[in-house]
Amino acid sequence: MEQRPFSDTSYNQFLNEEKLMGSRCKGCGARYVPPRPICVQCHKSEMEWVEMKGNGTLAAFTCITVAPTFMVAQGYNRKNPYYSGVVDLDEGGRVDARIEGLDPAHPESVKVGMPMKVRFLHREGVEPKETYLAFEPA
Amino acid sequence: MQKRRKLGRGVAIVGAGMSKFAMFKDKDSKDLFAEAYREMLASVDKGVDPADIDALYLGNFSNDYFAHQSHWGPIISDIIGHAPKPATRTEGACASSALALREGVFAIASGFYDMVLVGGVEDMSKRTTEEVAEGLALATVPYEGRVGFTFPGVFGAVATAYFAKYGASREHLMNVTIKSHNNAPLNPKAQFPLSIRDMMNAKMESMKKKGMPSPEWKDEKAFLSDPKANPTVAWPMHLFDCCPISDGASCALLVAEEIARNFTDDPIHVVGIGQGSGRGFHASADMTYFEATRYAAQEAYGLSGLTPQDVQFSEVHDCFSIAEILHIEDLGFFKPGEGYKAVAEGATRLDGPKPINTSGGLKCKGHPVGATGTSQIYEVWTQLRGKAGKRQIPIKDLRIGGAHNLGGTGGTCTFTILERR
C-alpha cells in the first residue's frame, strides 16, 4: 500500500490523481478523511491509507454570491454563484467540497440528505496542479 | 468531564470604553483605540493614574492583512503612553480580545500584576468587500476555505443543517435580525442605529423623492423577503443576516479584587471565564452546535458555580443570524432545537425574560473583529452598572450577565460571566 505521509499534501496529490483518500488507525480502526497523522480517538500514530468510494449524502450546503478573490478569478460572482457543501461519506466521515450540478438560481430547492457522488475538479491553468474535491447529485 | 478550575485571586473590572463602531475612511487603529481608552479612563469613578497600569493585552485578528501592518501590541502601547511596559497581542480570529481579557485575568489572578488593560482593535474598511471576505476566510478551517467557503458560506451551511434537523426556516432568522435592529437605535455606539421599520420607511421615502413607484412591504418580514432589499450573500444567508464590515476599538481595565474599591464603589467582578477549541465541519459530529462554545460554557459555569438560569442576560456572537440561535442553545439558555422558538416568542427581546444582544449585537453594533470581545464586556459592564440609558434592561436587581465570543468558524469560543455584588 501507499507509503506517502498522512498529510494535506498527500491528500491533495491523491485528489490530483482522482482518488479520495483517508487514513485509518491501525490501533482502533478510526477512519479520517482528510487523513490525520495522529489518531484523535486513541492518540496512536500508526496509520494506513484507505480509499473512499466517493458516495455519500449532502449534510449541509450554501450557494455563494459574494465570493473571495480566488473564486472571483475563476469567474464566480454575484451573477455566477457557486455551491460549497459538506458531504457525509457512506463509509463514515464527512468532507468539505464544492458541489456541482445544482441550479444556482434555485438554492431553495436543494435538499439536505440528497445522495451525492464524487467528482474531481481540476483547476485550469495553474502550476503546480490543483484539484478541488467536488460532489454532484448521484 | 472537565476539571474544576479556580482563580488564584479575584479580578474585577473598574473601567471600560469603546470607540464608535463604523466604517471610517479617516481613522486608523491608533485613533480608534485612543478613543476607547479615553472613555475607559473617564469611566473609572474615583479616577486612575495611567502610570499604574502594569501591562496591556491587545486582541487583533488581522490588521496584518486588512491594514498591511502587523505587531499592534507595542504600537497601541505607545499611542496611549504605556511603553516601555509590556504589551502582548492575542489572536483568536473574531474572539481575539476575549482572549486578551482571559490573559489579563490570569495575569492578575496569578499575583504577577495588579492592574491590566485589556482590549482589542480592528481596521477593516479600507479593503473591498471581496478582499474582506477573503481576509476573514483566512480564519476558516483550511479544508473549508479551499473549496470556496466564505464566513457567510459556513454559517449558511450551518443554517441548512439546523433547518433540516429542527424544522426552522428563514423566517425564524428574520426574528433575530428584527430583534437586534430594535435594540440598535438605543445604542449611541452602534454602526446601524436603525430598526428594520426605519430602514423600510427611509427606502420608501427615497423612492418617492426620485419619482419611482414605492415598493409595497406589508411588514418587516416582507421587506426582508424582497431580494432587491435583502439580496443573497451565501444562501440562506442574506445581507440582513450578516454583520457588517467595521472599524473600531474597545477596552476594559482589570484590577485585583482586593484593590477594586480604590477605584469605584461599583466594581464588576469576573466570576466565570471559559474557552474552547473547535475542529471544523469535517470533524464535527453535528453541525447544529458549536462544541467549543459548550466547552467554554462548562468551564465558565464550573468556575463561577452559576447555572444558565442564573445568567440574566447575555451578549452572544451573532456574526450571522443563525449563529445567535445556536449560541443561546449552546450556552444552555434554551434546549437544543428550541432557540428559534424562544426568539419567535420574544424571550430574547430587551424586555423579555432573557435579553440577548441588548447592544444590537454584531449585526447592528458592528463587528471590528478584534475589538468585539471586549466591546461585549463593555456592554455587560454598562448594563450591570445601570448605565445603559434607553437600552437599560428593565429587570430589577440586575446582577449577572454573560458575554460569548466566537472566532473563526467556531475554532475559538469563549464565555465570560460578570457579576455585580
- Give the model confidence (pLDDT) of B305-355 as tens digits: 999 999 999 999 999 999 999 999 999 999 999 999 999 999 999 999 999
What is the chain B residue with the closest CA to A130?
A: B146
Cβ distance B283 to A70 less than 8 Å, yes or no, reads no
A1 Cα to chain B: minimum distance (Å): 25
Q: Closest residue of A to B162, CA-based?
A: A60
Tell which residue, A97, A100, A93, A87, has the closest CA to residue A132.
A97
The reply to whether residue B143 touches residue A96, judged by beta carbons under 8 angstroms, is: yes
Q: What is the distance between the alpha carbons of residues A104 and B290, in angstroms, rounded to a whole number? A: 28
Mean pLDDT of B102-117: 98
Domain ranges in chain A are 8-51, 55-137
Which member of B152, B157, B233 has the closest CB to residue A85? B157
Q: Which of B136-150, B308-322, B382-396, B398-412 has the lowest mean pLDDT?
A: B136-150
For chain B, the residues whose C-beta falls within 8 A of a C-beta of chain A are: 129-131, 133-134, 137, 141-150, 152-154, 156-158, 160-161, 163-164, 231-237, 280-284, 287
Q: Which residues in chain A are closer than 8 Å to B157, comparing Cβ atoms?
A: 60-62, 84-86
How much is the ipTM here? 0.96
Chain A residues interacting with chain B (CB cutoff of 8 angstroms): 8, 33-34, 40, 59-72, 76, 78, 81-82, 84-86, 93-98, 107-108, 110, 112-113, 132-134
Mutate to test the interface with B, among A64, A108, A132 (most CBs of B within 10 A): A64
Distance from CA of B54 to the nearest CA of A (A): 40
Task: Pick A133's closest partner by Cβ from B147, B153, B157.
Answer: B147
Q: Check CB contact under 8 Å for A86 and B157.
A: yes
Chain B residues closer than 8 Å to A116 by CB: none
Task: Kindly determine whether residue B157 and residue A98, on different chains, have CB atoms separated by under 8 Å.
Answer: no
Cell numbers placing B49: 493614574
| Residues on chain B touching A63 (C-beta within 8 angstroms) | 156, 232, 234-235
Q: What is the pLDDT of residues A94-121, one digit of tens each?
A: 999 999 999 999 999 999 999 999 999 9
pTM of the model: 0.97
Dihedral angle, C-alpha B335, B340, B344, B348, nearest 10 °? 60
- The verdict on a CB contact (< 8 Å) between B158 and A60 is yes
Interface test with A, best of B147, B173, B284 (most A CBs within 10 A): B147
Cα gap A107→B241, rounded to integer Å:
16
Q: How confident is the model at residue B1 (pLDDT cuts 50, 70, 90)?
A: low
Q: What pLDDT is recorded for position B82?
A: 96
Is residue B417 a contact partner of residue B272, using CB atoms and an 8 Å limit?
yes
Q: pLDDT tens, B236-282?
A: 999 999 999 999 999 999 999 999 999 999 999 999 999 999 998 88
Q: Starting from the edge strand earliest in sequence, which strands make up the sheet with B400-407, in order?
A: B87-90, B55-59, B115-123, B247-256, B11-18, B268-277, B412-420, B400-407, B313-315
Name which of A61, A70, A83, A86 to mutate to probe chain B: the one with the most chain B Cβ atoms within 10 A of its Cβ: A86
What cell was used for B53?
A: 497600569
Give the CATH fold of the A55-137 domain: OB fold (Dihydrolipoamide Acetyltransferase, E2P) (2.40.50)
Q: How confident is the model at residue B134 (pLDDT cuts 50, 70, 90)?
A: confident
Summarize pLDDT for B181-216 with one digit per residue, the tens.
999 999 999 999 999 999 999 998 998 899 988 888
- Say whether A113 and B149 touch across the interface (CB within 8 A): no
Q: At CA B299, angle to CA B409 and CA A32, rounded to 5?
A: 45
Question: Nearest CB to B130: which of A60, A68, A97?
Answer: A68
SS (H, E, C) chain B: CCCCCCCCCCEEEEEEEECCCECCCCCCHHHHHHHHHHHHHHHCCCCCCHHHCCEEEEECCCHHHHCCCCCHHHHHHHHCCCCCCCEEEECECECHHHHHHHHHHHHHHCCCCCEEEEEEEEECCCCCHHHHHHHHHCCCCHHHHHCCCCHHHHHHHHHHHHHHHHCCCHHHHHHHHHHHHHHHHHCCCCCCCCCHHHHHHHHHHHHHHCCCCCCCCCCHHHHHHCCCCCCEEEECEEHHHECCCCEEEEEEEEEEHHHHHHCCCCCEEEEEEEEEECCCHHHCCCCCCCHHHHHHHHHHHHHHCCCCCCCCEEECCCCEHHHHHHHHHHCCCCCCCCHHHHHHCCCCCCCCCCCECCCCHHHHHCCCHHHHHHHHHHHHHHHHCCCCHHHCCCCCCCCEEEEEEEECCCCEEEEEEEEEC
pLDDT number for residue A125: 83
